[in-house]
Amino acid sequence: MRKEVVLITGANGEIGHGLITHLGEQGNFGVIALDVQPLDEALRPYVEKFIQGDILDTMLLGRLVAEYEIRAVYHLASILSTKAEYNPETAHRVNVEGTLNLLRLSVEQSQWQGRPVKFLYPSSIAAYGLPDLASKNSAGKIKEHNWLEPTTMYGCNKLYCEHLGRYYTRHYRQLAADQGPTAIDFRCIRFPGLISAMTVPTGGTSDYGPEMLHHAAQSLPYDCFVRPDTRLPFMVMPDAIKSLLMLEAAPKENLKQLTYNVTSFSPTALEFHDIVLKAFPGAVIGFKPHAARQGIVDTWPADVDDSAARRDWGWQPDYDQVRSFDEYLIPAIRERYAE
């Protein structure tokens, strides 16, 4: 008998840290963790096995299929929006071909098991693309099917992989004579900017939020790379993990769509700055907008409509803006850097 496990790619990333800690503490399933980087030592006790490797390595993925019964895949590995612009074709390979490899692995697993493997996929506000600031400022809360013209390679990759997930769930092998049950069970969340007290993101464009906070807590000066009036939706990591687990657990018949927005609060960069400065009064934070990164953020929504997630699977964040900073980010970051 192969062992029943959950597979997490991008295990060493920001969401991976939060998710592995949570699943490991629950202990219901063995966690198989995959990442190109070595796994953070702190996560080792929570995983049954860590594999250092690339999602483009199909031999490696093939060996995983042979060895384990994978019940669910959390495919978190990705090259984020800013980094992807420096090498768009490499980003495409990792973000799209890598996802395709994991989708194929899941299809194969579903066929072996005779039941659809759940495929949890974090997409992003980067899947949206508003043409100009006037549209961004007047669009209000954006629904899942509007403004889908991303301007970044990362955003294009995320949006296309959402389509791939839909294809593998509803249309895979549509011409085959032996039409079996659903191939996989793809479930996707479009995340806003995420902020964790434990980790700092690498290569994203919403990074000015978490970077401001983590720099201030370490008494390091920071220049924010967007204008003070820039507004983006954000959410703290415990809520991001909660949303993934809630969507995973939701009864399939309740899910009216495959992709859901979630969000919590939408501060301007200036409001973010003011909150951080209040918590760390000595902090030195300036604004030095980087034209190209500003351009990207200007195409992302100021707010998203997450009413479908609320309706279909009872989504609601635990942390609004005040709670996020007062009860999670500031105390946890203080403690982290005091160590």
User: Which residues of the shown chain bind ligand SER in the complex (CB under 6 A)?
Assistant: 80-81, 124, 126, 154, 191, 193, 204-206
Least CB distance to ligand SER at residue 170 (A): 25
Q: How far apart are CA 324 and CA 333, in angstroms?
A: 12
CB within 8 Å of 249: residues ≥ 6 apart: none
Least CB distance to ligand SER at residue 72 (A): 21
Q: Which of 126, 110, 125 is nearest to 169 (CA)?
A: 110
| Angle value at C-alpha 301, between 288 and 74, nearest 5 degrees | 100
Facing residues of 6 across strands? 31, 72
Position closest to ligand SER via CB: 204
**CB closer to ligand SER, 184 vs 232:** 232
Least CB distance to ligand SER at residue 308 (A): 19
**CB closer to ligand SER, 79 vs 258:** 79
Least CB distance to ligand SER at residue 210 (A): 9
**CB closer to ligand SER, 125 vs 308:** 125
Phi, psi of 261 (to 5 degrees): -75, 145
**CB closer to ligand SER, 109 vs 196:** 196
**CB closer to ligand SER, 86 vs 311:** 86
Q: How far apart are CA 16 and CA 13, in angstroms?
A: 5
Least CB distance to ligand SER at residue 206 (A): 4
- Strands 49-52 and 30-35, bridge-based pairing: parallel
Q: Are residues 308 and 256 in contact, defined by beta-carbon separation less than 8 angstroms?
A: yes
Q: How far apart are CA 99 and CA 120, in angstroms?
A: 11
**CB closer to ligand SER, 70 vs 302:** 302
Q: How far apart are CA 72 and CA 109, in angstroms?
A: 10
Least CB distance to ligand SER at residue 123 (A): 8
